[in-house]
Structure 1
Amino acid sequence: MVAGETSGDLLAGLILDGLKTRWPGLQSMGIGGPQMQARGFDAWWDSQRLAVHGYNLEVFQRLAELLRTRRQLRERLLAAPPSVFVGVDAPDFNLGLEADLRAGGIKTVHFICPSIWAWRANRVEKIRRAADHVLCIFPFEPELLASHGIDATYVGHPLASVIPLEPDRLAARARLGLAPDALVLAVLPGSRNSEIRYIAPAFFAAAARLRQDFPALEIIVPAVPALIDKVRAAAQAAGLDGRIHILQGRSHDALAACDCTLIASGTATLEAALFKRPMVIGYRMQPLSWRLMRRKQLQPWVGLPNILCGEFVVPELLQDAATPEALAAEVSRWLRARSDSPSTIEALEQRFTALHHVLRRDTARLAADAIQKVVSST
């Protein structure tokens, strides 16, 4: 298996639960993080090695390292072929690797269909060459892939089974030491170096403005342990030193506890929706990366909650629009709606609950079923 970044490690860990139930003697190895390792995964390399994003200097600086890692992994797997290779997300790394392994006779499964319905439709041919089977986390994806001759199975989204249908806000607040009646904002600027660099300053500047309008506002910031120092430095630069709670991980507690979240576009926005929380989605990146990605966008939405609902149910502020002033204004609307327009928040919660039911499947079992069929096929 290969899983990139924190989100991929989490998703792969959940899938490993199903595989180990099906095959108690399962041996798994490759690239993974702490969630996978907690399930007995032998991490030859850590998943954070793949945590680069976009078309920026960081990617180019690390390109040789990434290519070397992929070559070493490919050679190792071809020399001692596994029963199946499962690539979890990280399509820029995994699809090329899967194509080489498949050409070498190894069965391949790709977990999480690349967002060909949102952007980068040119990846369809890469997927066809790379994967014997694709495990899809959204219900409309298998039909789309089938139209291109790619076998796929809808397995639901693993997070929909992990996150309760009715999150316990008070219990989460107790775990975080927050008062039951506190006004709480969760700030999630991302889990990559580049996101902390480009997104965190605007997010923390917005949070500082909100503290002026809501003096009692509690601000909680879950951070990837490796990036805590950078997150703390960004908060200090915004004048928030000592005025926020920086958590080591614990993003689910933060989302369960908050009244609203200011959140970077990505998997975390779907988690926020599953926790039924109002949110403001923001994103900033290196300007060249933004221009290149913008040209490939196929839908008017970027945030997963909006894509899945087919409309702007929560605001998105991207690149130049993601100013501290604009971000703070949109968060303020949600915070004021708690007392001024509770029906607005209730309608959003109902929408997210319906979405939760659609995504909630026995993902671990369905994924294991599909992988077993691939392994058994001739």
Structure 2
Amino acid sequence: MNNAALVAGETSGDLLAGLLLDGLRARWPDLHSMGIGGPQMAQRGFEAWWPHDKLSVHGFGWEVLRRYREIVGIRKQLKQRLLAQPPDVFIGVDAPDFNLDLEADLRAQGIKTVHFVCPSVWAWRPERLEKIKRSVDHVLCIFPFEPELLASHGIAATYVGHPLAQVIPMQPDRAQARAKLGLAAEGRVVAILPGSRESEVRHLVDVFFQAAVLIKKAQPATQFVVPAIPALQQRIEAAAAASGLGQALKVVRGQSHAVLAACDVTLIASGTATLEAALFKRPMVIAYRMGALSWQIMRRKKLQPWVGLPNILCREFVVPELLQDDTTPQALAKEVLTWLDAVAHAPETIQRLENRFSALHAELQRDTPTLAAHAIASIL
């Protein structure tokens, strides 16, 4: 294989695609990769025709409509470019709303297509199964139960493990992470992760900081740390300055893994970051808010009682979830304080959670780059 086109949307997709490129380049050292991606992909020699944050939207209402024309225009230009110079394979990394239609068009013209990260048809929008079958030659699955589900619908798939389980240590070093971030070695630290998309931060950052104020009132010595992706750092720093938390709140540039390793508990937006928190074996409170119209549509399409990945994978509420109208400062603070109390006075509760997350970590730990490269080679 000489050429691979990839599309990754958002920060999590960039990370996954970067790890995938490690496997592809190990198997095909002269590989040229191009398309839409971010800094992790660029470090592997990827040629980004557009930056990955151009695709960073969520929801169903105005939040998507205001970006619709730009995103559709990018997809049209990308398709024309790839049809003019066909790659050996196209790999869509997550971003199913963008990638599946593009994959269908490319596959119809004879280009091999792979989708990395099975869309969560087991959680909501099962109607996507027919589109997946039409759009892709192979799906690379990051959760062990997905290939069997896809096979029952005639879709070829391979479980490759979750790449994050490879890069996150089984036993994180809290002391080292705190030293790296300039945090006190002792005392309680709460990590606040309000999301990696502008719309997520807009809906969550202020309520998260208001919850932090209440937590600090109850436990004045608590320190708070927020990892901000560069594109959203200014927005988060402005909210931090307005929160009144002062020196108790520290905003750092990126370094979300160090922040999760350093903390005792995390207050976190639902998404891939919740799985990262689980792999770091950290207690968490999962929250999410979106526009009212998006929420109504999402709620009707939901197939499971859970939205947080740790709960979905464990098949029960091992950590609390507070969604939409339940995402209040008071409710968030109460749940975080419950975890902090367990850290101080009920270590057996924390140990049970850590054991559950360690078992999950082991289940997801595979040589993802190599397995993915083998699966892609099998369809070429």
TM-score range, shorter chain: over 0.9
Q: Which of 4, 13, 17 is matched with 1:8 structurally?
A: 13
Distance in structure 1 (CA, Å) of the matches to 2:379 and 2:167: 26
Report SS of the residue matched to 1:28.
Answer: strand
1:157-172 correspondence to structure 2 within 5 Å: 157-172=162-177
Q: Which stretches in structure 2 are left out of the alignment for 5+ residues?
A: 1-5
- In structure 1, the partner of 2:367 is 362
Distance in structure 2 (CA, Å) of the matches to 1:28 and 1:248: 28
1:118 aligns with 2:141: no
Q: Deviations over 1:155-210 (max 9, x none)?
A: 00000000000111111011011122121000000011111111111111101111
1:40 aligns with 2:45: yes
- In structure 2, the partner of 1:206 is 211
Deviation at 1:241, TM superposition (A): 4.1
1:307 aligns with 2:312: yes
- In structure 1, the partner of 2:194 is 189
Distance in structure 2 (CA, Å) of the matches to 1:229 and 1:287: 26
1:26 aligns with 2:31: yes
Query: Root-mean-square deviation (CA), in Å?
Result: 0.7
Report SS of the residue matched to 1:246.
Answer: strand
1:178 aligns with 2:183: yes
1:234 aligns with 2:239: yes
1:271 aligns with 2:276: yes
Distance in structure 2 (CA, Å) of the matches to 1:247 and 1:351: 29
Deviation at 1:235, TM superposition (A): 2.2
Q: Which stretches in structure 1 are left out of the alignment for 5+ residues?
A: none
1:142 aligns with 2:147: yes
Deviation at 1:77, TM superposition (A): 0.3
Q: Deviations over 1:12-36 (max 9, x none)?
A: 0000000000000010000000000
Distance in structure 2 (CA, Å) of the matches to 1:141 and 1:338: 35
For residues 193 and 56 of structure 1, do their structure 2 counterparts lie closer, same or farther at Cα, with a shift above 3 Å needed?
farther
Distance in structure 2 (CA, Å) of the matches to 1:271 and 1:312: 17
Identity %: 66
Deviation at 1:249, TM superposition (A): 0.5
Deviation at 1:238, TM superposition (A): 2.6
Report SS of the residue matched to 2:277.
Answer: helix
Distance in structure 2 (CA, Å) of the matches to 1:329 and 1:364: 41
Distance in structure 2 (CA, Å) of the matches to 1:238 and 1:176: 21
Distance in structure 1 (CA, Å) of the matches to 2:167 and 2:205: 27
Report SS of the residue matched to 2:350.
Answer: helix
Report SS of the residue matched to 1:311.
Answer: coil
Deviation at 1:226, TM superposition (A): 0.7
1:212-251 correspondence to structure 2 within 5 Å: 212-251=217-256
Deviation at 1:56, TM superposition (A): 3.0
Distance in structure 2 (CA, Å) of the matches to 1:242 and 1:214: 15
Report SS of the residue matched to 1:305.
Answer: helix
Distance in structure 1 (CA, Å) of the matches to 2:261 and 2:49: 34
Report SS of the residue matched to 1:120.
Answer: coil
Q: Deviations over 1:210-238 (max 9, x none)?
A: 11111111100001101111112222333
- The answer as to whether partners of 2:222 and 2:248 remain within 8 angstroms in 1 is no
Moved more, 309-318 or 227-236: 227-236
Distance in structure 1 (CA, Å) of the matches to 2:26 and 2:263: 35
Report SS of the residue matched to 2:248.
Answer: coil
Deviation at 1:240, TM superposition (A): 2.5
Deviation at 1:338, TM superposition (A): 1.2
- In structure 1, the partner of 2:357 is 352
Q: Deviations over 1:28-72 (max 9, x none)?
A: 000000000000000000000000001132311111100000000
Letter in 2 for 1:43: A
Q: Deviations over 1:337-377 (max 9, x none)?
A: 112211000000000000000000000000000000111xx
Letter in 2 for 1:81: P
Distance in structure 2 (CA, Å) of the matches to 1:57 and 1:199: 18
Distance in structure 2 (CA, Å) of the matches to 1:362 and 1:202: 39
Letter in 2 for 1:48: D
Letter in 1 for 2:76: R
Distance in structure 2 (CA, Å) of the matches to 1:144 and 1:127: 12
- The answer as to whether partners of 2:226 and 2:252 remain within 8 angstroms in 1 is yes
Calculate the TM-score normalised by the size of structure 2: 0.98
